[in-house]
A and B are shown apart, each in its own frame.
Chain A
Amino acid sequence: MAKLTIEDLKKLRDSAKKSTALREGETSVKVTVHMGTCGIAAGAREVMDALLQEVTEAKRSDIRVITSGCMGMCSSEPNVTVEISGNEPVIYQHMDRNRMRQVFKRHVLLGEVQTDFALARVK
């Protein structure tokens, strides 16, 4: 490893911050994959997998991916909730890998709610 200059140090800091950002509480988007037994049976793990790939590609450290329990809407699983800070959360239903990718690219990154899969806006 070559010797660092102060610029290298600052660059290193900024990239290292992305890896530890999870712990710092600066969040602008929260994506929740509902992982009840029903959700998992309906394919929630693949949805999660696709989501994490998208987050990696997007190189954004302010997006949190979390899991939560069943929402009581088992028939519409897998469900995913997207919450952009300052906006009302949107619940998506019957998600799969492709739908997840679309929701991520258009809603999470560009702010366009994908009304085709949206179940509801939570008031």
Chain B
Amino acid sequence: MTTFRTDLLLCGGTGCRASGSIQIKEALMRELARQKLDTEIRIIETGCNGFCAQGPIMIVQPDNIFYQKLKVEDIPNLVEEHFLKGRPVKKLFYKEPASAATIPSMDDIPFYSKQKLIVLRNRGAVDPENIDEYIARDGYIGLGKALLEMTPEQIIAEVKTSGLRGRGGAGFPTGLKWEFASRSKGDVKYALCNADEGDPGAFMDRSVLEADPHAVLEGMIIAGKAIGAHQGYIYCRAEYPLAIKRLGIAIRQARNYGLLGKDILGSGHDFDIEVYKGAGAFVCGEETALMQSLEGRRGMPRSRPPFPAQQGLWKKPTVLNNVETYANIAQIIQNGGAWYASIGTETSKGTKVFALTGAVSNIGLVEVPMGISLREIIFDIGGGIPKKRKFKAVQLGGPSGGCVPEQYLDTPVDYESIMKVGAIMGSGGMIVMNDQTCMVDMARFFMDFIQDESCGKCTPCREGTRRMLQILEKITQGLGEPADLDLLEELSHMIKNSALCGLGQTGPNPVLSTLRYFRHEYEAHIYEKRCPAKRCVKLLKFEVDPEKCIKCGICFKGCPAKAIEWKKKEPALILKDKCIKCMTCITNCPADAIS
């Protein structure tokens, strides 16, 4: 064994890879070898660290230094200065946007300091492709306890005590679900993991699988013991190649150690797991459609009952849980349900992972205790709205959810409180919107998605969402009529009440919640043929208001079509025959002078 003096924990999540972490790794290897430091310093490629907007990210231990936005050109200097001579490179530290202060240590960065990590406890700290690193952090110890010291009833009781609710969206109590399945008769049962993650803008489950696949496996094996199942399947969309690769490695390593397979840890319990690649249809995240797809058929939902706990995959009793739900289980078994239940609110226990994205400074993955306010997530952890723009609303639960406007930002994150303001906890998508977002257009975007993803089996969803989309398109094109709003509401309620599965039943939610809070924007489109957020191209004239123009020339410099005339100290002029209506000038104008 060689002793390394320094570990370089380089983020190898999909986000950081996209911003170049593989090239950074190669450059580091080259430079460390050149300086002959490769026997003293080790590079560990970790899963998603969470702070994706600042990628590629690297944490240096034991110095506890956080480097961000690394570029290949920075590496030779970094290796020489910090890793050889011990002088951390300030230029690559995180800069707090508000105060412009540089912060060298990860724990002091506000993005991290307000989070509470249970599901993501190993993020950025272990090599997800090395089971020993998971074990070093007490991995599989919870499994040992569940298999050797607990009965199925005790496991279920512990999960019930924890108050854990499903993290896939609906929030059904996990312990109860397991109890139903455990009471179903049958010697063949299944424990399934839902890694379909179809909500646009969401990447919680992907990041958990990439950063800590063993946490999910461990949760599934424990579920197997609780309900009496010996086979598990992970249904993961094929668009997640890195997650699938790391799951495959994790399963192989767990089998090697006998943590999957026959007689696990000498307990007499058998359990094995396979990964099934889904084709990435949103409806296949719905539980009955997922099981159809797993059976090799076209993924379409069926009516319930029978519920999967009685008749699921291959008509056998089945438990389906979300990735994040499973990733909590080993911690609950190891530390006790009461420990978990001590975090959170009356009805919502533990933590929730959110994929924070949109018009927010710190885009990334955050895990927060239940009960924290939306304002704290968006403004303290998320760093607020960039470019001095104003907050408008935040969309929770993606296409199945709703938006929360400014006046309800102090709502605590808790299933019931969020429901009360017209949104849902959802699976963790959190899209922040600023004053440049048109709420009608946002509703149209999600309806377009729902209409596209509707499987077509039931009429209300197939036909109803199409009608709703047509009306929304009409309104954004300036062709809306006064009766349209009533019609949208009527259709929404009809689809919600009669669709076969959750896709249709929740699909109208974005329309209903924008109608509730931003009806005036719909009305401006219909009655005044005006888009208040200036996003709907058909309702824009592309003219500069000379009174408002501050003659700065930003529009002139940004125009890709050279369609703007401008001279110093003179207002700009848009040449209509050259303008391609790309909106660059409108988006960038600091004086809001173009409409």
Contacts and interface: CB of A to CB of B under 8 A. Distances in A.
Binding partners A and B: yes
Interface of A: 1-6, 9-10, 12-13, 16-17, 19-20, 22-23, 25, 27, 32-37, 40, 45, 48, 52-53, 55-56, 64-69
A68 B87 CA distance: 6
7 contacts: A6-B148, A20-B126, A22-B61, A35-B86, A66-B62, A67-B85, A69-B86
A25 B64 contact: yes
A27 B135 CA distance: 21
A48 B85 CA distance: 12
Contacts of B137: 20
A16 B135 contact: yes
B172 interface: no
Contact of B6 (A2, A22, A27, A36): A22
State the 9 A-B residue pairs at the shortest beta-carbon distance, nearest first. A3-B258, A67-B86, A16-B136, A68-B86, A65-B5, A56-B3, A16-B132, A23-B61, A35-B85
Interface stretch (B138-146, B220-228, B239-247, B522-530): B138-146
Given A5-B265, A35-B84, A35-B86, A22 B136 contact: no
B85 A13 contact: no
A3 B2 contact: no
A22 B87 contact: no
Contact of A4 (B1, B4, B87, B265): B265
Interface in B112-156: 125-126, 132-133, 135-141, 144, 148
Main secondary structure of the interface of B (DSSP, over half): loop
B86 A1 contact: no
Contacts of B136: 13, 16-17, 19-20
B413 interface: no
A64 B125 CA distance: 17
Contacts of B132: 12, 16, 19
Given A1-B257, A22-B4, A22-B6, A64 B133 contact: no
Contacts of A1: 256-258
Contacts of B3: 52-53, 55-56, 65
Nearest to A2: B258
A3 B9 CA distance: 30
A56 B39 CA distance: 12
Given A37-B85, A66-B62, 6 more contacts: A2-B258, A4-B259, A5-B266, A6-B148, A35-B86, A53-B3
B40 interface: yes
A64 B62 contact: yes
B63 interface: yes
B87 A56 contact: no
Nearest to A64: B62
Nearest to B259: A4
A12 B62 contact: no
Contacts of A22: 4-7, 61-62
A90 B84 CA distance: 22
A9 B141 contact: yes
Contact of A25 (B7, B9, B62): B62
A45 B5 CA distance: 13
B277 to A, nearest CB: 27
Contacts of A34: 86
Contact of A6 (B40, B86, B125, B265): B265
B83 A67 contact: yes
A6 B84 CA distance: 41
Nearest to B140: A9
B587 to A, nearest CB: 42
Nearest to B36: A45
A10 B144 CA distance: 10
A72 B135 CA distance: 44
Contacts of B125: 20, 23
A32 B39 CA distance: 17
B295 interface: no
Nearest to A5: B266
A6 B135 CA distance: 12
A56 B84 contact: no
A19 B135 CA distance: 11
B263 interface: yes
Interface string B13-40: 0000000000000000000000010011
A35 B83 CA distance: 10
A48 B86 CA distance: 12
A35 B486 CA distance: 74
B261 to A, nearest CB: 8
A104 to B, nearest CB: 12
B421 to A, nearest CB: 40
Nearest to B82: A67
Interface string B227-259: 000000000000000000000000000001111
Contacts of A37: 85
B135 A13 contact: yes
Contacts of A5: 265-266
B86 A9 contact: no
A23 B258 contact: no
Contacts of B139: 13
A73 to B, nearest CB: 15
Contacts of A53: 3
Interface in B43-62: 61-62
